[in-house]
Amino acid sequence: MTISMEKIPHPRSVVWQEDRLLLLDQRRLPAETVYLELTTPEEVREAIVKLAVRGAPAIGTAAAFGMYLGVKDVPDADAGRLWSTLRRVGEDLRSARPTAVNLSWALERIRRRLETLKERPVSELKAALLAEAHAIQREDAEMCRKIGEHLLTLLEDGMGVLTHCNAGGLATAAYGTALAPLYLAKERGWHLRVFADETRPVLQGARLTAYELQQAGIDVTLICDNMAAAVMQKGWVQAVIVGTDRVAANGDVANKIGTYGLAVLAKAHGIPFYVAAPTSSIDLQTPTGADIPIEERPVEEITKGFGLATAPEGVRVYNPAFDVTPAELVTAIITEHGVIRPPFGPGLQEAVQRSQG
């Protein structure tokens, strides 16, 4: 089953156009649809840091094109400069956001591809880099579609689904991970009732998930984060589906702050808690969630939310962008290769092996 791109009406988040990277400025959604036109890797890094582009897979794709922007003007005769630029730009981009492993996954994939062509002319290496960035984007859309198909086998017409943050088309090349089954369900003529957490502090759920689902004509109800328990208590939610920024080898899951709380709530209410994870988000080198670096973001996201003074000047603030949900609270992890049930270790290893061919 395929979902046609045309049927998903929201704009693409990452677009390559000639020698420029167009990034949908997600900070301005839903009020305005504006693209940033970027021509340097430094601009790409800033767009990632400042959340103009966000969502683990979209960050990885943007960084891949950012690598190409870094080397596109290296002269053909200067192979040494090409390799040193690749190293420098790669390190710079990698550090933009520490939790989403898709960023280093994409950069590592490019490095490995270019290593296989090491002795080839500079022009060929540049062309291969650009082709790899396009492949990362194309394959991301394919992975998301397959995740949607597998997730749909866990759902039924008429269910209520709760999601957090935005793991939708805007966070990926297309369809999203957690939101992909919702698009597929719509195609099938199913009616799912979706609850979107607003997702404090920067409201990806309200600004992005509610926006993209509403655009697609999917029944979405926006709730504040602190309403999830009440909505579950009413019996309106039959499944929680979230995305992830990194799955550790034991199945612990890092995702947007607030995800852990939802998993606890889901368990308390006997609701399955599903994590949609492309293999690009699985990090077998990280043994457990305790080893996942958690990004802390500027305090102004909380004290001056969207420009308003929302807290007293000078108050101490803790603002982690992500939390870790322990594997024991996760019902299943769904990759492009299928549904993995606990214990997650062997299934995650097999999925990663399959993705490496």
**Residues in touch with ligand MRU (CB under 6 A):** 54-57, 100, 165, 167, 171-172, 176-177, 204, 243-245, 255-256, 321
Task: Quote the least distance from Cβ 170 to ligand MRU, whole Å.
Answer: 9
Residue 97 annotated in ligand binding: yes
Residue 204 annotated in ligand binding: yes
Q: Which tokens sit at 94?
A: 């990698």
Distance separating alpha carbons of residues 69 and 48, to the nearest angstrom: 15
| Closer to ligand MRU by Cβ: residue 55 or 130 | 55
Q: Which of 25, 225, 245, 283 is catalytic?
A: 245
Residue 56 annotated in ligand binding: yes
| Closer to ligand MRU by Cβ: residue 125 or 335 | 335
Task: Quote the least distance from Cβ 151 to ligand MRU, whole Å.
Answer: 13
| Closer to ligand MRU by Cβ: residue 250 or 325 | 325
Residue 207 annotated in ligand binding: no
Task: Quote the least distance from Cβ 164 to ligand MRU, whole Å.
Answer: 7
| Closer to ligand MRU by Cβ: residue 51 or 89 | 51
Checking 180-183 for CB contacts under 8 A at 24+ apart, the result is 180/3, 180/144, 180/145, 180/147, 180/148, 180/151, 180/276, 181/147, 181/148, 181/149, 181/151, 181/152, 181/155, 181/241, 182/213, 182/218, 183/3, 183/7, 183/8, 183/148, 183/216, 183/218
| 245 belongs to the catalytic site | yes
Strand order of the β-sheet with 253-256 is 282-283, 246-248, 253-256, 322-325
Residue 256 annotated in ligand binding: yes
Angle 268-269-273 (CA atoms, 0-180°, nearest 5)? 85
Distance separating alpha carbons of residues 302 and 237, to the nearest angstrom: 29
Task: Quote the least distance from Cβ 37 to ligand MRU, whole Å.
Answer: 21
Bind-site residues = 54-56, 97, 204, 255-256
Active-site residues, by number, are 245
Bind-site residues for substrate = 54-56, 97, 204, 255-256
